[in-house]
Amino acid sequence: MPGTPTAKKSRHIESSGQLCIYCGACVGVCPLNCIYLDETRITFDEKICTRCEICVKACPVGAIEIG
């Protein structure tokens, strides 16, 4: 529902397994500490994430998308 006030919060954040190199750059830069790296799996705590997109910029290979 783009354009509605709740649209921002409802946006989904994910890391593409095809691009991700599990380097942890996103984990280190997240100001709210809501990204978890477990070997070859990255997860985002969507309840805490404010979609500030710093991790999107930090990712050297462009694997993180907020849809």
Partner 1 sequence: MVKELATDVLVVGAGPAGSMTAKWAAKNGARVLMIEKRQEIGSPVRCGEGMSKDWLKEVGITPGRWINVEVEGARIFSPSEKILEINEKSAGNEVGYVVERDGFDKALAIDAANAGAEVLLKTAATQVLKEGGRIVGVRAKQFGEPFEIRAAVTIGADGFESQVGRWAGLPTNLALRDMDSCLQYRMTNVDCDVRYCDFYLGKVAPGGYVWVFPKEKGLANVGIGVQLSKIQGMAEARKYLDDWIAKHPAYAKGRTIDVVGGGVSISKPVTQAAADGIMLVGDAARMIDPLTGGGIANGCIAGKICGEVAAEAVHLRTPTKEFFQKYEKGWRARLEEKLYRNWLAKEKLCSLSDETFDKIVDALQGVHLEKLTVHNILKAVHAKYPDVTREFEEFL
Residue 67 sits in the site that holds partner 1 (CB under 8 A): no
Residues in 1-20 at the binding interface with partner 1, rule: CB under 8 A? none
Site map (CB under 8 A) of partner 1, residues 37-66, x = contact: xxx--------------x-xxxxxxx-xx-
Could you say which of 10, 17, 24, 50 contacts partner 1 (CB under 8 A)? 24
Closest of 34, 12, 18 to residue 55, by C-alpha: 34
Using CB under 8 A as the binding criterion, the count of chain residues that bind partner 1 stands at 24
Cα(2)–Cα(36) distance, integer angstroms: 28
Cα(8)–Cα(40) distance, integer angstroms: 28
